[in-house]
Chain A
């Protein structure tokens, strides 16, 4: 591989200075003259028929500009990435407390909120279904007319029953995982404006501007080209802004009033109406031979997608794909159900279903190791997928497979090498320490059957710098900096000469989503093609200026050189001035389509994947045996991102991921009872804060280069938050000898388990 100057370097994030100084304008910071403020009337019931909506009194309130209902949606009254089953504004039925019924536009936020109180809605409450197992019974209330089972995935391979009979050890357990909140700092919010030709621009945090554009166009019955979406910068998303949030409501307000509009959800509204991680109930039975080889795995996974599908279908497929971990398992019986209930809405969330099943399978593995008297790291090495292996869904691991590399690096870490020393020094006599380890892999990209594509542009600017355009939004993950680094090395210029355009349907080509650990791989590959085309466009011009043949031109560090006469040199600025003087410009495009697995699973889309990132994580915890409180003292995170384009960026992702996974393991859950959201704010939703951070998080990057990736890169945005959760719960077991089968492992649960020596 060509030596790189910028790729692999800790380049400071290009958005760092503006972010730390508070200069950067997020979407909700934007304002326009004559702007109105929007507010949404949400349902008062988790499940009810709407008999009547009366907006008369609200419309009469001074300062109210418009009050809109379902009758004012000109196109399809529905949205949803996979199927449009969620109404923009409900007409006859509500299915959860976050359902939108009416939309007010007013001269101030306060007036808009007052107007909401004046809208009269007559409901006929319906029985609520909140347990997904019960929801699947034919006798249960139907959330949707089509029934409550949204998606069913079933994969069988080999002979599970025979394997269970011949196994040395069989472990069988039921696990429960919580409804985690994305908890992005910037709630769902945005502004919109409309021009005299009825072209609409929406500035709104999001993760796929071109798909937002189509969803808005569908609801408005408009040509998508009349709608521009700007998603960058987004103040955190983690999957929670992959679906439509306020975009369609903003578009309706500007369409009906002709005035700019702003909507900013309060945290409470965000919690009630917004997406969450799918809670899952996982029943798993795993068999192993005497040497620790996994012989079979059987899993039944029930996922609660709440009132609407969003990406619940693909999430259950992804969970099933990852339900045997990153291990070789020849006999599998895997079944997943994605079920509608009246519990909020669940959708995409960093990890995309892997987090839940990884908690189960990594706990199973520790139980097997304990029964066999095996080392916890050794059992993982024994079963780890290698290149060429057949994975759980019967697909071959054709691309780079880095699990062993991460395990070996984890084994050599200070925390693992000195684990007995670390465990021997609790901070008080009533506290016990333990160390846990866990692994996982993460499918990158959209998977088989969903063509994953991306495009990028590169333009030589008049000052000799380059503007690159990739539409995958900057959601805090640092992709714009990585794009600049890759472009600089492809072009052979300084990273300081790269201007990045991102997340804007008006100025960037469609590069797809900032999800699925895909943006670096997609954007980087598209940029590679775009730069090849750029060089092809520059070469003849340089040859003309230097009076040499075109094939004599080469690109060096910030310069264009004649191979035969190395003293004949041009800068990119020389080329820019030359073409500008002649009224010309150079702008090139690159297009890229992902490779996919050759394995096709009849009836399923999105699984299996071809590329995976891999990771091993270790946690040292201290459990207070008097209170059940668990503290994470140290953690080691060993990701395989392929080539680390920006090692500091990978480290940042790794540290953030560890803390997000720590919250998932120990404290975070959005409690919904009978369809009513009880956890309505951060006062009762316990997020880890800076005070809860482990004293040390060591990140060891274990690069297993991916031949098809830009400079060997894959994606690492999601995997970093996945195995740390079972590493923590396995560490709790190591400390106090209780198995955690339900997360979060709150002090109450751990204390109860300590008392009964069983958590169920």
Chain B
């Protein structure tokens, strides 16, 4: 299956592009995606799958949009 990944802010360091598509095996979870991207600090990140807050053990679906960001703030 293919998932669409967007990296924001400091998370961009894990890829040379901030928007890209990844091919993963059917039934892959978010943890698999994070492994693939070699994201080490997995506690202090926020992930949205199709606009919904998601955690590592959640399964991905084909064509899912995955946003990965640091939970920063701002005015």
Contact = CB atoms under 8 A, between A and B. Distances in A.
Contact of A314 (B45, B48, B69, B74): B74
B69 A81 contact: no
Contact of B72 (A75, A81, A354): A81
Interface stretch (A122-130, A173-181, A444-452, A537-545): A444-452
Contacts of A605: 8-9, 72
B75 A314 contact: yes
A211 interface: yes
B73 A513 contact: yes
A516 B8 CA distance: 19
Interface in B46-70: 46, 48, 51-53, 55, 67, 69-70
A449 B73 contact: no
B43 A449 contact: no
B73 A515 contact: yes
Contact of B53 (A217, A314, A442, A509): A509
Contact of B43 (A210, A224, A513): A224
A235 interface: no
A208 B71 CA distance: 10
Nearest to A322: B75
Main secondary structure of the interface of B (DSSP, over half): loop
Interface stretch (A292-300, A333-341, A345-353, A371-379): A345-353
A510 B45 CA distance: 13
Given A449-B9, A451-B8, A453-B48, A208 B55 contact: no
A351 B75 contact: yes
A513 B73 CA distance: 8
A225 B73 CA distance: 21
Give the interface size class of chain A: 35 or more
A471 to B, nearest CB: 10
Contacts of A718: 75
Contacts, number: 97
Interface string A711-731: 000000010000000000000
A583 to B, nearest CB: 26
B75 A353 contact: yes
A442 B75 CA distance: 8
B43 A218 contact: yes
A280 to B, nearest CB: 14
Given A214-B44, A215-B44, A605-B9, A450 B72 contact: yes
Nearest to A319: B75
A451 B75 contact: no
Given A215-B44, A450-B8, A451-B8, A591 B51 contact: yes
Which of B6, B45, B71 has the largest count of A CB atoms less than 10 A from its CB? Answer: B71
A352 B71 contact: no
Interface in A454-488: 455
A224 B71 CA distance: 13
A354 B6 CA distance: 30
B48 to A, nearest CB: 6
A318 interface: yes
Interface in B11-41: 41
B59 to A, nearest CB: 17
A606 interface: yes
A311 B74 contact: yes
Interface string A598-626: 00000001100000000000000000000
Interface string A190-227: 00000000000000000010110011011001001100
Contacts of A443: 75
Contact of B75 (A352, A453, A510, A591): A352
Contacts of A314: 72-75
Given A451-B67, A606-B72, 16 more contacts: A82-B73, A214-B45, A215-B44, A217-B43, A217-B44, A218-B41, A224-B43, A314-B74, A348-B73, A443-B75, A446-B72, A450-B74, A451-B69, A510-B53, A591-B52, A592-B51
Interface of A: 75, 81-82, 84, 208, 210-211, 214-215, 217-218, 221, 224-225, 242, 311, 314-315, 317-318, 348, 351-354, 442-443, 446-447, 449-451, 453, 455, 509-510, 513, 515-517, 589, 591-593, 605-606, 718
8 contacts: A81-B72, A218-B41, A218-B43, A318-B74, A352-B74, A451-B6, A515-B73, A591-B52
- 8 closest cross-chain pairs (CB), A and B: A352-B75, A314-B74, A606-B74, A446-B74, A591-B51, A318-B75, A218-B43, A211-B71
